[in-house]
Chains A and B, each alone.
Chain A
Amino acid sequence: MGEFEVHRVRFFGLVPAGVRCLAYQPRGGRLALARTDGAVEVYNFAANYFQEKVIPGHEARSVEALCWVTGDRLFGAGLGGEISEYDLSRLCVACSVDGGGGPIWSMAANSSGTQLAIGCEDGSVKLFQVVPGGIQFERNLDRRKGRILCLSWHPSDTHIAAGSIDILRVFDVRSGQTVQRVMVNYHVHKVKRECIVWSIAFLSSGTVVTSDSFGRVQFWDWERGTLLESHTVSTSSVLSLAVSEEEDSIVVGTSTGATYQFQLLPVKMGSLEKRWVRTKPFQHHTHDVRAVAHSSTALISGGLDAQLVIRPLMEKMQKKGYEAALRKFTFPHRRLVSCARKARLLLFQFSQHLELWRLGSTDETGKDGEVLPLCRMPEHLVQLKSKGPEHIYCSCVSPCGSWLAYSTASRFHLYRVRYEGDSISVKKVPKVPKLLLPAYQLQFSADSDHLFVASARGSVHVLQLLEPGGCKHLHSYRPTAECPEAVYLLAVSSDGHWLAAASGDWAIHIYNLKCFKHHCTVPTYDCAVTALAIHPITNNLVIAYSDQQLFEFSIPEKQYTAWSRTVQNQGLHKVWLERDSPITHITFNPKNPSHILLHDIYMFCVLDKSLPLPDNSALLMNQSTLKQLPETARQRQLHAFKICKKFQPLLFADLLDENCLVMVERPIMDFKTQLPLPIQQKKFGT
C-alpha cells in the first residue's frame, strides 16, 4: 500500500439533521425522507438504498408530513401552513399552496393518490384535489376545537380518522360530518397530563390504531367507539406508527429510540380468531423515533439521531444474504468536503455556511502507527455565511485555493481568496453570468482557470475565471438527447481536455472541452453513479456505481478498458459488493499510474491495477495478515485491493502529494451532544 503521512482531520463539525418524516412509495421502491432542517431526500431501494436525490432545506421550512401521490409526485406540508410540491428533477420546490388553516400537522393521500387531506392547527381537516401542475382546494370537513395532529384515510376512502389532544375523531368524507368522537384518555388514572394522539392508522376492518403520549398503542372499533385492545409499550411517548399494505404488521417508534413490531397472529394454531401481539423490539436509535414506514419486506425508522434504519424482516426474505442485512445511514451519500491539494486547504460545506481550513504540518517522521507532533496547528481561515434562508446545494474550492464557489436554490456566489503572508482576504466576484439556478455540483479545472457548473436538464456550464477577480460564461454543454434530470456529478481531466457529467437518469455524458462538442456517452448501466474521476495520465474515466460495481472507461477510445472487462468477467469480491455505503470520492496518485484511491464511509482503499484481482476464496481485507508474513509469502498473497478500515466514519479522503493523505472523520459521538436531548435511560448498578 505504501507509506503515507496521514492528516487525520476531526474538526469538521457536521451535525446531520434528525429525520422528521418518511413516506414509502411501494410502486417505485423509493423512500422520501424529510429532516428537521427542511431538507427532503429520496432513497432508491432498488439501487442498493442509494440517496439519489437531495433537496436542501430552508430556514423557514419545516416539513411535518410527506405524501406520494399519483404520477410519482411528492408533496410536503409543514408548520408554515403551506402544501408544497417537490420537483424531483430540478430538486426544488415546484409550487406551494397555502392550506388556509394555519400550521399543518399532518397530511395523508387517499388510496388512489388523487386527493390529499391535511390536518391543521385550527382543528379543521381540509381536502385538496391533485391536479396536473399542483393541487386545488376542494372542501373543509367538519371543524371542531383541537389541533389535528395525525390523519389516516380508510382504505376505501369513505372515512378519515383524525387524532387530536385527548380525542380521536372519525369523519365521513362524503358528508364531511364527524361521525364518531372517542375520548382516549379516560383509562389513565390520576394523571393530570393531556393525552396526545401522536399517530393514527385506519385499517380496512374498521379498526383504528392510535399511539399516544402515555406510551400506549390502542386499537379501537370506530363504529361503536370502544377500545378493543390496549398495549403499553413504553413509559415515554409512542411518536409514530405505520401499517404494512397487507395490514398484518404494524411498526411503532417511541421517544426512547426503541421501535416495536406488532403482528396480527391467530390466537391458537389454525384458529380463525386473530389478535395483535407485540412481537419484536428493536433499539436502533438513541433519540426519538419520529418517523416510521413499512415496506412489504422491511421496517423502516428514522430518528432525531439523524439515522435512517432499514430492517428487513427475515420471514419475508427468500434467502439469507446481503438483502437481509440491517442498513443504517447517518451521513449523506455525497461529498461535503473539497480539497485544494496544492494549497493544502479543506473546504467544509455546512447547511448555511462554509469553512475554509488550512491543514497543519509536521517536521518529524515516524514508523507505522505512530502519531507525529504538529509544528503548526490546523487553522480555521475563513467562515463564509450564506446570505438568506436557503441552504447550500454545493460548494467547491480550486486546487490552488484562490477561488471559492457555492450555490443555493436561487443564488450563485464566486469568491477570490488572496493570501498575503498570514492574512486572508475574500472578495466576492461581481457580475457573475446569469445561469439557471441552482447549481447541483461545482468543479474547478486542474489549472484553476475554469469553473464547471452542473445544471438542470443535463447541461453543464463553463465559466472562465479571469484575474484579478472576474469571470465570464464560456460555453454550455447539453446532452445529445432530451434529459429532464439535473447533472449531479462532474469530473474533469487534468489536461483540461475532457469533462464527464452524470445526470439523474444515470447516464454519463463525456464532452470534448477543446472542440466544445459532445464526445460520447458511457453505455447505460441500471444503477446510480456515486463517484466519477478521470485519470490524469491515461484519461480513463473510473466510475463507481451504487451497487458497488467499478468500471473503467477509456475516453479517447470510447470503450471500456481491458482491465475493466477483466473485473467484470471475474466479478468483484463478495465482501466488496456487500458494503453498506457508496464510494463517494475517487482519486489517483500521479506517481503510481496504476493506483486508484477510493473510499466509502467505513473504509479507504488503494486499488492497484497491476496486481491480480482476488477471488471469493481469498481474504479481501488482508492488509493486517500481509504485514505479518515474510516477503516471499506476501508476494503470493498480494491482490489489487488494499483496504484500510482504521479511519471511520470517513467523510472524505484525498491524496495531497505522493506520500501524504488527508482523512476527514466525523465520529458519531462527537455530534451527539448537539442533537436534541434524548430520554433518560437507566442502567442497573450505575
Chain B
Amino acid sequence: SSEDEAPEEVTFGAAREAAEAERKLEGEAAQRHRELLKEKRRRRQELFIEQKRRKLLPEAVLQELSAAPPAGYQPQPLLCSSTAQCVCCSVTTLQGFTSLYLTRPKGNYTALRLKDQSVTALHQQLAKDFINTQLYGPDSNRAQANEFFSLANKKDPVKKAAVQFVDKSWG
C-alpha cells in the first residue's frame, strides 16, 4: 500500500522554488488584501468629508459669517466675570513734563496711581486670577464648547454627529 512507501524524493532546489513561489503568492495575496483595506478606508474617509461638507452651509454663507464680527455674543470661557476691570490697565498721563521722559523706549509695564484703585479691588482681582489659573489655567484639561456638545451628541440615546461651530471663536 501507499503507506509503506517512502516519501517522495524531492530535490532541494525544487523544494526551494516551490516554497518561494508559495511565499510570493501569499505575499501578493496579502498585498492585495492590504491595498483593498486601504482603498476601503480611503473611500470611507472621503465619504465622511463629503457628508460633513454637505451638512455645512453653502460656501458663500460661510464666508460671510466668518467675515462678520460676532454680534453681541460674548463667550465666557473664564470663571472671572467680564466686568471685572483689569487693574493694571489704567494709565494716568503725566502732563507738563518735557520730552526727556517721553523718549524712553516703550517697555512692558504700565504706570498706575494707587489712589485711583481701591486696594480691596486689587486684592480681589489677584484672588480671582489665582482661582482662574488653578481651575482654568494651562494644566486644567478643559473642553471647548464644540467638544462638549459633540460628546453630548455621542452619548445621546439617538447618536448624532459631532458639532462644529461656524464661528470658530465660539470654541
Contacts and interface: CB of A to CB of B under 8 A. Distances in A.
A9 B134 CA distance: 39
A681 B171 CA distance: 16
Interface in A206-245: 213, 235-237
B148 A79 contact: no
Given A79-B128, A686-B150, A196 B134 contact: yes
Contact of A255 (B130, B135, B147, B171): B135
Given A103-B124, A236-B141, A681-B143, A673 B171 contact: yes
Interface in B35-93: 75-79, 81, 83
Of B75, B143, B152, most buried by chain A (CB within 10 Å of CB) is B143
Given A669-B152, A680-B147, A686-B151, A81 B120 contact: yes
B142 A102 contact: no
Contact of B143 (A62, A304, A679): A679
Contacts of B171: 673, 677
Of A103, A288, A672, most buried by chain B (CB within 10 Å of CB) is A103
A5 interface: no
Interface in A374-431: none
A196 B137 CA distance: 14
A530 to B, nearest CB: 31
B1 to A, nearest CB: 59
Contacts, number: 88
B75 A62 contact: no
Contact of A79 (B127, B135, B140): B127
Nearest to B127: A103
For chain A, what secondary structure do more than half of its interface residues adopt (helix, strand, loop), or is it mixed?
A: loop
B125 to A, nearest CB: 9
Interface in A39-92: 59-60, 62, 79-81
A681 B149 CA distance: 11
For chain B, what secondary structure do more than half of its interface residues adopt (helix, strand, loop), or is it mixed?
A: helix
A523 interface: no
Contacts of A673: 75, 145, 148-149, 170-171
A193 interface: yes
Contacts of A103: 123-124, 126-127
A91 B83 CA distance: 25
A672 to B, nearest CB: 7
A592 interface: no
B155 interface: yes
B103 interface: no
A81 B142 contact: no
Given A80-B120, A102-B123, A103-B124, A676 B136 contact: yes
A147 B128 CA distance: 13
B144 interface: yes
Contacts of A37: 81
B147 A80 contact: no
A681 B143 CA distance: 8
Of A213, A235, A677, most buried by chain B (CB within 10 Å of CB) is A677
Nearest to A102: B123
A677 B124 contact: no
Interface in B96-123: 120, 123
B3 interface: no
B124 A680 contact: no
B154 interface: yes
A268 interface: no
Contact of B124 (A62, A672, A674): A62
A35 to B, nearest CB: 12
Contacts of A571: none
A260 B12 CA distance: 71
Given A196-B134, A672-B148, A673-B170, A680 B123 contact: no
Interface of B: 75-79, 81, 83, 120, 123-124, 126-128, 130, 134-136, 139-145, 147-152, 154-155, 162, 170-171
Interface of A: 36-37, 59-60, 62, 79-81, 102-103, 105, 121, 147, 193, 196, 213, 235-237, 255, 286, 288, 304, 669, 672-674, 676-681, 683, 686
